Each structure stands twice: as C-alpha cells, then as structure tokens.
Structure 1
C-alpha cells in the first residue's frame, strides 16, 4: 500500500465520472493515475450511501445509444485506418 490520501472532493469527482458520466472505472482510474481497486471501493460506497442516484444515472443512456456511440467510434477508427495508406501513396507519388 502506498498510503496515498485523496481529498473527499477528489474522490467525489472520480466517482461522479463513473456513475453520472458513464465512464468505466478502469478508464477513470488510469486517466487520474489512481488505483482502480480504490476507485471501485469509492464507487461501491457511493452506491450504498445513495442508491437512488445510481438508478437514475444508469437509465439515462439506453443500450441503443451506447451501441450507437460504440459504432460511431469504431467507424471513425476504421475510416482513419483506411485513409492512411491512401495518404502515404499520395505522399510518395509526389516525390
């Protein structure tokens, strides 16, 4: 254990990103540089303290909306991968 201490405001903001904004706990932990198990613990405590908040935030985004967001991100990635060889060929053709 590192013994690192976080303020209550810092913990609340990290938990808010997971519960209200829908980010995964692992993603938030990596971005903030904290242990993901600590964040999981903070999220569980928040859910026990106020279960009504969790229920309302989970229903904000339907599974269709999540799937649409995932598909758009995948399309963007695949389109960029497709365009890289075209741009490289055009660059080398000029030379």
Structure 2
C-alpha cells in the first residue's frame, strides 16, 4: 500500500472524467493508476453532489451540537426544580 498524495487538480480532473465524460470508475482508475476506492472518495468530495454532502454534514454537526446543548439545559432545569422543591419544603 502506498500513501501517495495526489494534487487537488489531478483529483478534480479524475472526477471530471467520470462525471462529465462518462467514463467508468474502473476505467479511470486503471488508466490513472489509482484505486477505485480513492476515486469514489474523490467523487464524493469533488463531484456534483459535493456541496450537498457538505451542507448535510454541516447540518448534522449543528444537530449534534444542539442535542448536546439541549441535554445540558434539561439537566440544569431538573436540578433547579429539585433545588426549588427542597428550599420550598425547608421554608415551611
């Protein structure tokens, strides 16, 4: 296994051959000497739906952040409710 790095323009051109020119992933992979796995990853990153993938990933990250914040705020609210009930019972 080699960890060869390819320039961004090389990757974009490989993706263009698949998406614009209609070559199969296997054809492009054998011609360029890269793995099909790499090409599929490049298509996902640089292909026509790349912006949508980026937006979806950003949305998912925002949802996870909001869920985490909701959990924290809910726990704080529950603690405050218990504290209010405790102090209300102490004042009687």
What TM-score comes out, normalization by structure 1 length? 0.49
Aligned to 2:40: 40
Q: Quick one: distance in 2 between partners of 1:11 and 1:38?
A: 9
Aligned to 2:50: 49
Task: Please tell me whether Structure 1 or Structure 2 has the larger radius of gyration of its CA atoms.
Answer: 2
Aligned to 1:19: 19
Instruction: Find runs of 4+ consecutive structure 1 residues off by over 4 angstroms.
Output: none
Report the alpha carbon displacement of residue 50 of structure 1 after superposing the two structures with TM.
Answer: 4.0
SS of the residue 1:3 aligns to: coil
Report the alpha carbon displacement of residue 44 of structure 1 after superposing the two structures with TM.
Answer: 1.3
Q: Which runs of 5+ in 1 are unaligned?
A: 52-95
Deviation track 1:40-76 (CA, whole Å, cap 9, x = no partner) reads: 110012234246xxxxxxxxxxxxxxxxxxxxxxxxx
Q: Which runs of 5+ in 2 are unaligned?
A: 53-92
The 5 A counterparts of 1:1-95 are 1-47=1-47, 48-50=49-51
Report the alpha carbon displacement of residue 2 of structure 1 after superposing the two structures with TM.
Answer: 1.2
Q: Quick one: distance in 1 between partners of 2:29 and 2:5?
A: 15
Aligned to 1:79: none
What TM-score comes out, normalization by structure 2 length? 0.50
